[in-house]
Amino acid sequence: MFKFLLVIFCFCSALAVNAQNNTPNSASSQTGIPRPKLVVGIVIDQMRWDYLYRYYDRYQDNGGFKRLIGNGFSCNNTMIPYIPTVTACGHTSIYTGSVPAIDGITGNEWWDYDISADAYCTGDDQVTTIGSPSKAGQMSPHNLLVTTIGDELRLATNFHSKVIGIALKDRAAILPAGHSANAAYWFDDTTGNWISSSYYITELPKWLQDLNQKKLVDQYYALDWNTLYPIDTYTQSTPDVEPYEHRPFGREAKGFPYSLKPFIGKNYNAIHVTPYGNSFTVDMAKAAINGEQLGTGPGTDMLTISFSTPDYVGHTFGPNSVEAEDIFLRLDQDIAHLLDFLDAKVGKGQYLVFLTADHGASHVPFFLFNQHKIPAGNALDAAYADTLNKLLKVKFGADKVVLDVSNYQVHLNRNLIKQLGLNKDSVNKVVLNYVVAQEGVYRAFALDKVNETTLNATIKTAATNGYYPPRSGDIQILFKPQWIEGFETGGTTHGEWNPYDSHIPLLWYGWNVKPGHTNREVYMTDIAPTIASMLHIQMPSGSVGHVIEEVAP
């Protein structure tokens, strides 16, 4: 009798354990800690928060955005806590929980005082391109000073977890993936292929070679680009063809429909400014999941995906264009296809997704001021350097005291100032007096004196968080609201502290995410520590964010 009861007990225990292991919202790691099989980070380059609702009625009911909003958790008041709000800084902050003052990524490029030269955020001439004869693969994360959440996941699982980064832009693939990633892949517009760097691999995996051989860009070009729906239904946009819109498909290509067939086999750069750049990125994501068998191993894997096309379209046509509306309606479908694929491949409830943006964008000044009387303008700070050097030459007898004006900052020749024994405060005063008198400038101040400067607390914090002396300028320039840096011939940009640049979407979906929303203010830097909490791993080494407890209680 005892043996019979023992057998029954063991049988029931086995059933209970099996049932627990197969619960849809529970996946076990090698250590037995519940974790999702796959974490998918989606970053939409240049997505203002209001795009979630500006086009909400036009998104498909079972599409991407409505599915994430309705079945996931939305942080409606997510802000970027630093300046400049640009691509490299945003992708880095999302995956590190850090800010430029700590992680060292102070812009897409910067004047680097350590090497006395311009530096690109991921440029690395010590590595070679894998998958192309071009130099587009001479990239790595070597400028990143801290770990990413992917690095910490790899460390936590003794490198059994796989981490892959994907984006059309090199920086949007490399910086999220981190130092120890298995690979990062980006697009080479000279060949139309996905490539990588010798930093990661010695040759492209076969699954990627096979994908490249399909020449999908040419197949997309064959479709041309017309609006998804009748153009007269695009009532959330300005009329097609505005005077401030650029013409990336040729001077004669004035509005929809756009003929792309002439680019087949000739111009692979044009894919960036079409909705097919997003679809092509989804193709790559699916191939990577299949090829690397992501989400099928004993531990949690991570895939970082950035959709770069919205940034190209925003810079080219502006946020209020038909083109911008159309790419987001189509991106809604692309994200839906990706989620359907994840459901089938990894399993519903077995993967964790977050969707956010690296920055937003201002409306085009011509659209705001000339057409709607809202104060706005284009600040031409690129011309400041020459004038400043002439003024400083007269004042101090020194040539080229100003090295560069970029990232909304004036970079001074610190070595020259020291060699000549010039008074730094006196030099700053000349620069400040000139800059604050320029049209569109709101404030300017010395970055090493920011704590002594009377500023709104939000702006002061943003400037402090963006200041890493070896890679930052000496004078910070702040433009008036709705004024942008350059782009006087059309299009728009981003980079300031204002909500149109710093208010971003943040949606959570899938594994252990309960539907809901919060309107309290959270920050881009909170994303990585929240993932760390959910996975029970260490947060990245430079993280200054906090866990969003509504998502990870």
Give which of 267, 285, 281 is closest to 192, Cα–Cα. 267
**Strand residues in 127-213 grouped as ranges (E):** 129-130, 163-167, 183-188, 193-197
Give which of 226, 232, 228, 233 is closest to 256, Cα–Cα. 226
Give which of 99, 103, 147, 144 is closest to 540, Cα–Cα. 147
Residue in the structure block whose two tokens are 């992708």: 91
Distance in angstroms (rounded) separating the CA atoms of residues 75 and 356: 10
Give which of 165, 35, 34 is closest to 94, Cα–Cα. 165
DSSP state of 299: S
Residue in the structure block whose two tokens are 């086995």: 14
Q: Which residues lie across from 75 on neighbouring strands?
A: 518
Q: Which of 87, 122, 227, 356 is catalytic?
A: 87
Distance in angstroms (rounded) separating the CA atoms of residues 69 and 509: 8
Measured N-to-C along each axis, helices 322-345 and 309-317 cross at an angle, to the nearest 10 degrees, of: 170
**Whether 87 is catalytic:** yes
CB-based contact 46:359 (threshold 8 Å): yes
DSSP state of 538: P
Distance in angstroms (rounded) separating the CA atoms of residues 35 and 56: 32
Radius of gyration of the chain (CA): 25
* Tokens, residue 508: 């959570």
CB-based contact 72:517 (threshold 8 Å): no
Residue in the structure block whose two tokens are 């700070």: 381
How many CA atoms does the CB half-sphere of 256 hold within 13 Å? 20
Distance in angstroms (rounded) separating the CA atoms of residues 292 and 286: 10
The CB density around residue 428, as the number of other CB atoms within 10 Å, is 21
Distance in angstroms (rounded) separating the CA atoms of residues 20 and 18: 5
Alpha helical stretches, state H, 436-471 = 457-465
**Cβ neighbours for 547, distance < 8 A, ≥ 6 positions apart:** 526, 529, 530, 532, 533
- What are the phi and psi torsion angles at 441 (to 5°)? -85, 130
State which amino acid sits at residue 56: Y
Using CA of residue 507, residue 510, residue 511, residue 512, what is the dihedral sign?
positive
Give the 3-state secondary structure percentages of the chain, helix then strand then coil, rounded to 5.
40, 20, 45
Report CA 150 to chain centroid distance, whole Å: 16
Give the residue numbers marked as catalytic. 87
